Structure 1
Amino acid sequence: MMRSVSRVLAPLVNGATRGFAAETFAARAGEPVQAINETNRGPSGIINVPTRLLMGPGPANAHPRVLAAQTLPLLGHMHPPFLKIMDEIQGGLRYLMQTDSKYTLMVSGTGHAGMEACIANLVEPGDKVMVGVSGIWGERVADMSRRFRGNVIELQAQLGSTLSYTTLKENLLQHKPAVLFLCQGESSTGTHQSLAGLSEICKQTNTLLLVDTVCSLGGVPLFADAWCVDAIYSGSQKCLSGPPGAAPLFFSQKAMDKMQRRKEVPATYNLDLNLIGDYWGWFGKRFYHHTGPVSTFYAMREAMALVAEEGLENMWRRHNEMHHQLWDGLKSLGLQPFVENDADRLSTVNTIKVPEGVDAMALIKNAMDKYDLEIAGGLGPTAGKVFRIGVMGFNAKPQNMALVVEAFKDGLKQQGKLKA
């Protein structure tokens, strides 16, 4: 059952406390610096940045309201009005992840910081960590777990597919790991890993379920409590339409219990969630740990407001509809999905087979040069094999799907791979 917008989010929707409609402040250039190329300055004297449509695997374009929020005056990172904004972000994350857990926050850093925070706090030396590897992000979690002296067991999925329930069940019962890692949305391969049915097995083996949702959170259904997920990390710059620099994070009570029973403190100060949790009020008090990225948190508070206003079910539906519109257009050009099984295919990062004889880099360059449009190539195991198109957040709308299809059509025609 869907959880409703929480009371802490109500003001975000009705505008009572938003405050993000304030005028932006005109930036002023300082004295000229010889080392800066003056040709990269706009008429106002500030840096000149091109406008591009970012339809790769991320970052996606931020929502204008989110960008405007970053221009608001700075507050001190321990000022009560700023702590209130942090509280509102936590409420937004509970709705977004569909949880009643109080253990939500934004790690100051990108998705990698969220990944490392989870591993560093949940994995003790010698712990068995079972890592589902369906692309580069599983590989990185395996690497990171070894760095924190975990005993890593890798489960390799066939490229372009996901791990079956049967495979996961057999290995969980055999190895009884302390932590099972799965990537819900694997952006390097475009796969969507199902989490269905794992809760009872993980309970039986006393295994924590850790899930990467960097490119899926807000774009595909996720029910942290109902699915008995124990830890989640994500990114701000994809389906949430925010800037890079904040990593949404969630812990269940079971995950908190394991972290607090550790024999050794986590081998990181910067990402020790006992200390970061103090800053976010997890333990009924607020202590300084670090200076939070104030403007980025403004932006993510506004991003949470946008999620609440649209509604999660509507947001999931929009992403799915745009995914199908994109593929209707791509298939009309003769292009084929890299992920062959519909059930394994991720809607937010779409992988497209590079047709035989097509110069992928030339097509990508033409899209950028002619349309100011980012089309990405493969990453890690898919490098040279696929194009990647993001359908995420503010960018998930019909006109952008149409432009992507037009850019592919034009690029294929130029290479003689499509009849005029």
Structure 2
Amino acid sequence: MTDQPLSTIPGPIDPPRRLLMGPGPVDAYPGVLRAMSAPLVGQYDPFMTATMTETQELYRGVWGTTNDATLLIDGTSRAGIEAAILSLIRPGDRVLVPIFGRFGHLLAEISERALAEVHTIETEWGQVFTPSAIEEAVVRVKPTLLTLVQGDTSTTMLQPLDEIGEICARHGVLFYSDATASLGGNPFEADAWGLDAATAGLQKCLGGPSGSAPITLSDRAVEVISSRKKVEAGIREPGDPSSPDFVRSNYFDLGMILDYWGPRRLNHHTEATSMLYAARECARLLLLEGRDAVIARHRRVGAAMLAGVEAMGLRVFGDVSHKMSNVVAVYIPEGVPGDTARAAMLEDFGIEIGTSFGPLHGKVWRIGTMGYNARPDAALQTLVALEAVLRRFGAAVPSGAGVDAASDALAGS
């Protein structure tokens, strides 16, 4: 084998400058990128284990919990979802999934792959569930686990969770929520709302890169997970590997991962050091600014974006009273080629906005104001570019109306 010719080897990575104003990922905080460039250490170096412990405490503050079992799953936000669902249920357990967007369907699929008996209820995209509708389904299905998305970026809706935990506790049901799109930009109170498990990702309101999934588990959830554990340090103990007691994954076995993050420090995998640094910095920056202050900043800039798109004559999708603060969906004006206009935003202005999925594909754009990009200047730049592109493709947009309305909203907030 000969060496590859030097002329065929690409140069250093050099991505274009973008302003990511879609539903995620978004631009990372500069401090998070700097943290990722810090030197690596061994996985049992005292600095490493101390950083893991620090990160756990920081995320207790982010989640609003005192749960000891608050840690990171190495992988994207979907890794956290799989770890939670695979570890909390046994094959044959009943799982209830209320679906109000694409990511409810994802929770149902992952539960099916975990060999659960999956029951779903659905509501129209752009709406959310009432507590009474969820309780009726809980009484009827008698599930082991309720899995519920908090903020579904496919519809931009924010499902209220504050009454659901009490419903689950009253009926003996474990309560899990996917907060990937909402954590950090919208209220989340793991303890006060009675969550048994919750997972998220860094790439939305937390302002980091995709690749690490914060998770928190109640004592009740840890008890369920520990009752299943049949593997220690990667060595199988005696038993039938087809038994429901075995988690259907080694990588996502939370019993083993808890031992890795806990005082025993039993080896399970090599922690993704740079992602640990990133996750730590995401949480540190959020708590340094103040959790309530960050949520208020998302609410303020999100309200400005909403005012701006409405002033431009764009029709907003869904029940605005239940919209996430960090993303808005607008119908693409008739006659405007949606994908072509999005491409023009990217090519001419370096700004990315999103399309959507399923029944909304090609019908709406989704515009995010989250994490580092929950800033007035980012929102105003996006509205300027959007007006220019819409006018280019023939849409009747009042000149400057979007920026004026957004500026007025910011001034009055």
TM-score, normalised relative to structure 2: 0.89
> 1:6 aligns to what?
none
Q: Report how far residue 34 of structure 1 moved.
A: 4.3
Are 2:248 and 1:243 equivalent residues in the alignment? no
8 Å Cα contact 2:156-2:329 kept in structure 1: yes
> 1:272 aligns to what?
253
Q: 1:14-413, aligned counterparts within 5 Å?
A: 33-37=6-10, 41=11, 46-262=12-228, 264-281=245-262, 284-339=263-318, 341-413=319-391
8 Å Cα contact 1:218-1:312 kept in structure 2: yes
8 Å Cα contact 2:166-2:193 kept in structure 1: no
Supply the distance in 2 between the matched residues of 1:130 and 1:98 (Cα, whole angstroms).
25
8 Å Cα contact 1:199-1:228 kept in structure 2: yes
Query: Where does structure 1 lack aligned partners over 5 or more consecutive residues?
Result: 1-30
> 2:234 aligns to what?
none
1:86-124 deviation digits (Å, cap 9, x = unpaired): 111101110000000101111000011001001110111
* Secondary structure of the structure 1 residue equivalent to 2:366: strand
Q: Report how far residue 33 of structure 1 moved.
A: 4.3
1:275-324 deviation digits (Å, cap 9, x = unpaired): 1111111xx31111111111111111111210111010001000000110
* Secondary structure of the structure 2 residue equivalent to 1:169: helix
8 Å Cα contact 2:336-2:394 kept in structure 1: no
1:332-361 deviation digits (Å, cap 9, x = unpaired): 11012111x232211122211112222111
Worse overlay, 347-356 or 308-317 = 347-356
Supply the distance in 1 between the matched residues of 2:226 and 2:359 (Cα, whole angstroms).
37
Supply the distance in 1 between the matched residues of 2:331 and 2:9 (Cα, whole angstroms).
41
Q: Aligned pair in 2 of structure 1 residues 33, 305: CA closer, same or farther (>3 Å)? A: farther
Identity of aligned residues (%): 36
Q: Report how far residue 379 of structure 1 moved.
A: 2.0
CA RMSD of aligned residues (A): 1.4
Supply the distance in 2 between the matched residues of 1:259 and 1:320 (Cα, whole angstroms).
36
* Secondary structure of the structure 1 residue equivalent to 2:98: strand
8 Å Cα contact 1:409-1:418 kept in structure 2: no
Supply the distance in 1 between the matched residues of 2:48 and 2:395 (Cα, whole angstroms).
55
Supply the distance in 1 between the matched residues of 2:201 and 2:41 (Cα, whole angstroms).
23
Which amino acid in 1 is paired with 2:394?
G
The 4+ residue runs of structure 1 with deviation greater than 2 A are: 31-37, 260-263
Supply the distance in 2 between the matched residues of 1:33 and 1:173 (Cα, whole angstroms).
67
Q: Report how far residue 327 of structure 1 moved.
A: 1.0
Which amino acid in 2 is paired with 1:330?
V
Worse overlay, 223-232 or 341-350 = 341-350
Q: Aligned pair in 2 of structure 1 residues 354, 128: CA closer, same or farther (>3 Å)? A: same
